[in-house]
Amino acid sequence: MSAPLLELEAVTRSFGGIRAVDGVSMRLNEGEVVGLIGPNGAGKTTLVNVITGVHTATSGRVRFRGEDVTAQRPFQAARRGLCRTFQIVQPFPEMTVLDNVAAGAMFGGRIDAIGAAREAAREHLEFVGLAPLSDKPASALTLAARKRLELAKSLAMKPKVLMLDEVNAGLNSAEIDGALELIRKIAARGVTILLIEHLMKVVLSVTERVLVLHHGALIAEGEPHAMVRDEKVIEAYLGEKYAKRYREAAGV
């Protein structure tokens, strides 16, 4: 097997007595689309925060292209191409949509001149379908559009690994289909994607491999369709009692 693009070695992150991420080891290979699922509070967002330098791992190592990046700061992660979107969108509210994306192109994507950054931003806005709203302030967008803006901003940063933290949360089904289409297009560009998602429809249709997190620990890993039938996974989501009833009802 070739060297992984991103590799986590026994990463733990504690907050006081709580281990939000507990000894997680995982790897992402170049060009893969991997799902990261788990019940609320499983530590998915914390894991992304550790990878992008928002939190530093209490113990363990994060390696990107073989380089130890455990202690990096968020802006360094961004410049390396470890980009993410936020579950709760984080725009620059008073800037135009165009300048929001230009900020990504300029600082994360390392385009020095404002003019050139805006040019690049236009392309990304075209790609996510927000071009007609370029000159609106970011605060004027709907939630679905803001999620697209987050995507455009991350794409402008020339991501090597794109971590999508619930980009579909709060969207209606037509909007989800649109977002799904976008994720496929981004994957087709060769960007490695780590998709944090609650919607099984999305996970099953775009990912090649799924990691399941529960109480901060990785409890299962494998092919998506197998994962949703995995007993440990069902138990994690539904609880032991319901998992048993579910098994009985399914006649297993």
Partner 1 sequence: MMSRLGLALFAGWVVILATTPLFAENYIVRTAIMIAMYSALALSWNIIGGFTGYPSFATVAFFGVGCYVGGIAQRAGVPMALAWAIATVAVGAMAAALGAIILRLKGHYFAIGSIAIVEVCRLVISSWRSVTGGGDGLNVPLLRWHPDAVAQFFLLVMIGIMLAAFVMNALVDRHRLGFGLKCIRQNEDAADMVGVDTTRYKIVGFTLSALLCGTVGAAYASWVGYIDPTDSFQILMTVKVPVMALMGGAGTVLGPALGAAAFVILEEIFWANFLEWNRAILGAIIVALIFFLPGGLLNISWRRAARRLRGRESAEAPA
Backbone angles phi, psi at 105, to 5 degrees: -65, -35
Nearer to partner 1 among residue 152 and residue 218 (C-beta): 152
CB of 229 to partner 1, least distance (A): 36
Strand (E) positions, 16-66?
18-28, 33-37, 59-64
Residues that bind partner 1 (CB under 8 A): 52, 54, 73-75, 78-79, 84, 86, 90-95, 99, 102-104, 106-110, 112-114, 153, 157
Backbone angles phi, psi at 199, to 5 degrees: -80, 110
CB of 108 to partner 1, least distance (A): 4
CB of 248 to partner 1, least distance (A): 47
Nearer to partner 1 among residue 110 and residue 184 (C-beta): 110
CB 130 within 8 A of CB 150: no
CB of 230 to partner 1, least distance (A): 33
Nearer to partner 1 among residue 107 and residue 246 (C-beta): 107
CA distance 93 to 247: 48
CA distance 51 to 63: 9
The strand pairing partners of 35, in sequence order, are: 195, 210
Nearer to partner 1 among residue 157 and residue 220 (C-beta): 157
CB of 193 to partner 1, least distance (A): 17
Helix H or strand E encompassing 33: strand 33-37
Nearer to partner 1 among residue 165 and residue 235 (C-beta): 165
Q: Which two tokens stand for residue 105?
A: 């192109």
